[in-house]
Amino acid sequence: MEEANSVPNAAHAAGTNVRDRRTAWWTESRFGMFIHWGLYAIPAQGEWIMYGQKIPVHEYEKLAQQFNPTEFDAKAWVSLAKEAGMRYIVITAKHHDGFAMYHSKADPFNIVDRTPFRRDPLKELAEACREAGMVLCFYYSHVIDWHHPHAVHKEHNNTWDYKLEEKRFSEYWEGKAKPQLKELLTEYGRVGLLWFDTAGGLSEEDSKAIVQHVRSLQPDCLINSRVSHYMGMGDYVSKGDNEIGMSGEDTRPWETPMTLNQSWGYTTRDQIWKTADALIQKLVNVIGKGGNLLLNVGPTPQGTIPELSVERLREVGAWIRRNAEAIYGTEGSPFPCEPDWGAITAKPGRLYLHIHNTKWPADGLRLCGIRNKILRAYPLADPNQAGIAALQSYDGNLDLHTLTLHLPPQPTDQHVSVIVLELEAENDFDRMLTQMPDGIFQLDMPHAAIHILREADEEQGLPALRSAGWTFKLIEPGTYELMLVSFKRYDQQWSDLYPEPLLVETAGQNIVKDLMEDAADEHSPSCQHPYTAVLSRIGRVTWNEAGMQTLVIGSSKIKDPSPRFTEIWHADPVKLRAVRLVRIEDERGYGGS
């Protein structure tokens, strides 16, 4: 196998994003509210019900006659978003069912012309947002439209009412999509961003045309990457639904769209709700990697946000108010490894350690890579409390700066406790991929150098085989259990996912291993429905000395580092995430406990 010695660039390893004038407000906001609301709230089975049950257009249209959300209160929604600590709102102006939740002159299938409500909720939201200093943004399904006879998607089309071969996409594109976008961008004041969705089959030419269409109407309106499946489109990356990226995965600004339960539109069937503890842990995990969290609620047909959603958002907001300094305007961790105990955010002259209370290290916490002198360490929830003892040391042989914090015996806040480190002079960190002395050490895929070992052979049915190599600083020699970390979709059989053995080279050893589904990492902060985190034993490796080491794996599941098209997260049966290293005397890393 080919050894990979290159190290990702510093900006990539740091998980930070280059902020330009247009994206600055968004990256500084870190937290937004997503709202999926439409006719699909009435049957309460999710926003894909029309497609899932193949409901004819003339039957689906009858839902509009029942839609009368008289309890809708725009100011109450905006007030809740502010109380939750959110800085912007993204609401569905038109979802895949083609129904406009505003007064569209381009198409009569809208809330004003077809419902007894006869009000424009987006106008009311726009006014409430202006009064409250909240940024209003719109979701718009630009390719999928099951109501329109000429909308064409790569796969999710209305073929029960309309014949695919008779569709003329330009009639939908020029007659509905572009005119409705013009309405949204000219009649509702400033629009912070347009959140496009599901662009399968859209040509590169039409992708560029819609971006230019938006730019011509509101030059500062941001556009998400789902405007197209061609790489690099839009101003920032929208990850897959509920997908939390890996450390260093995105060099552009990025977000995780996540929902409070497992559904987006209002539903009575899904009662699997995330706890406030889980939501805060996921929030800090995302911002600790330099991303934004866009958290969804699904209002009822009456126009109210479900009470359990309200309760959760208020709990999260209460925590954010105490820890706002460590959230807004921060950058992600300067270190390329994700700490097992929580997350790290940064500002000039400060580091913030977000420690999960469930993993509170009462015997102290060690952190490598801070070259600055620590002026003061204290809990953000109580900055007037006596400072936390911070001992710094340097190992010249390893070029290793280590900080030891003597933490209080108990967490200092609810859910996640934030410790502030005040730094002397400009931030100065060792960004080398380095083993942290506390917690699990993982080699995440984005920090690997990727090489092609075998091109794909379609005639033989052979996928491309690639290698991924890491060069890293090991600080604790010894024998380690190597485990592969994979995210497996819930509906997949393990036997179908890794068709060939995993190849491993490290410490003078060659390992060829057929991977098994050995354990579930039930406490993975990055993995959630519809995926589960799977740990597969690879074998044991001994490193006799501390210092620089190299590990290389080979698999057909290693992704092309420069794809032409964006990955569709929910189409991936399995995603290879990392190689985990667990010292034999420290079995915490097995099974996620």
- Residues 373, 504 within the same domain: no
Q: Could you tell me the CATH number of the domain that includes residue 339?
A: 2.60.40.1180
pLDDT of residue 593: 35
Domain boundary (280, 309, 325) is at 325
Residue 542's domain comprises 440-589
Residue 155 lies in a domain: yes
pLDDT for res 298 = 97
Please give the pLDDT value at position 14. 37
Of 421, 422, 423, 428, nearest to 407 by C-alpha is 421
| Residue that the structure tokens 């381009």 belong to | 106
Tell me: do 278 and 129 sit in the same domain.
yes
Do both 376 and 497 map to the same domain?
no
The pLDDT of residue 260: 94
- Helices and strands (DSSP H and E) totals, the chain: 13, 26
CB 101 within 8 A of CB 38: yes
Is 3 among the domain residues?
no
State the DSSP H helix or E strand holding residue 423, giving kind and residue range, or none if neither. strand 416-423
Q: Give residue 586's pLDDT.
A: 53
**Where residue 576 sits, what CATH number does that domain have?**
2.60.120
CATH code of the domain covering residue 61: 3.20.20.80
Pairing of strands 502-506, 193-196: unpaired
234 plus 347 within the same structural domain: no
Q: Max Cα separation, the chain?
A: 76
Determine, yes or no, domain membership for 74.
yes
Quote the distance between the C-alpha of residue 77 and its chain's center: 24
Residue 245 burial by Cβ neighbours in a 10 Å radius (0-12, 13-18, 19+): buried
Q: Is 514 helix (H, G, I), strand (E, B) or coil?
A: coil
User: Is the distance from CB of 534 to CB of 517 less than 8 angstroms?
Assistant: yes
Task: Find the helix or strand (DSSP H, E) in which 345 lies.
Answer: strand 342-347
Residues 302 and 403 in one domain: no
Residue 13 placed within a domain: no
Is residue 255 a part of any domain in this protein? yes
pLDDT the model gives residue 26: 98
Question: Which residues of the chain are modeled with pLDDT < 50?
Answer: 1-19, 588-593
Residue 186 lies in a domain: yes
Strands 254-259 and 237-238: parallel
Same domain, 150 and 285: yes
Distances (CA, A) of 232 to 226, 467, 519: 10, 24, 36
pLDDT tens profile 451-498: 999 999 988 889 999 999 999 999 999 999 999 999 999 999 999 899
Residue 563 has a pLDDT of 87
**Residue 477 and residue 583: Cα distance in Å, rounded?**
9
- Name the nearest CA neighbour of 572 among 489, 515, 510: 489
Residue whose pair of structure tokens reads 């003329």 in the numeric block = 168
Residues 130 and 221 in one domain: yes
Do 389 and 395 form a contact (C-beta atoms < 8 A)?
A: no
Closest CA to 378 of 338, 341, 421, 329: 421
Report phi then psi at 130, rounded to 5: -60, -45
Q: Is 21 contained in some domain?
A: no
Give the pLDDT score at 6. 34
Query: 3-state DSSP: the chain helix, strand, coil percent, rounded to 5?
Result: 25, 30, 45
Cβ within 8 Å of residue 392, ≥6 positions away: 370, 373, 374, 401, 402, 403, 404
Relative to beta strand 135-140, strand 519-520 is: unpaired
Domains in the chain: how many in total? 3
Report whether 226 contacts 242 (CB < 8 A).
no
Q: Same domain, yes or no, for 193 and 85?
A: yes
**Shared-domain flag, residues 320 and 345:** no
Rounded alpha-carbon distances, angstroms, from residue 468 to 213, 352, 451, 539, 545: 40, 31, 7, 17, 23
Of 325, 354, 382, the residue at which a domain comes to its end is 325
User: Could you tell me the strand order of the sheet in which 400-406 lies?
Assistant: 365-368, 400-406, 389-395
355 shares its domain with 315 = no
146 and 261: one domain? Answer: yes
Among 390, 423, 456, the domain boundary falls at 423
Tell whether 543 is covered by a domain.
yes
Query: Is 114 found in the same domain as 48?
Result: yes
pLDDT tens string 376-434: 999 999 888 778 999 999 999 999 999 999 999 999 999 999 999 999 999 999 999 99
